[in-house]
Amino acid sequence: MSLDTATVRRIAKLARIRVDDAEVATLQTELNSILGYVEQLNEVNVDGVEPLTGGAQMAMRLREDVRTDGEIAEKILANAPDRVDHFFAVPKVVE
């Protein structure tokens, strides 16, 4: 399949991009090479290959859901301008 300049301009209009007259030839060449590659994919033998509709069929490997304090609470609170026990102390906002 080969695109002509009118089709390239229409694609640019549909994509809402401004294409100058000087850029049409370059864009035409690039689009034709992309379409040529897609045509090459049609030549691949896919007999017996199940279509993949997404990753939903795969089993996800999940890590164990364990709650921790991050084990660096003291390092984090060392940067606090004011703290109360293991918490940041902030001024009261709502009265």
Q: How confident is the model at residue 30 (pLDDT cuts 50, 70, 90)?
A: very high
pLDDT for res 55: 66
Q: Which residues of 21-57 are buried (b: 16+ CB within 10 A; e: fewer)?
A: eeeeeebbeebeeeeeeeeeeeeeeeeeeeeeeeeee
Rounded mean pLDDT of 21-48? 92
Q: Does domain 5-41 have CATH number 1.10.3470?
A: no
- List the chain domain ranges: 5-41
Output the pTM of the full model: 0.49
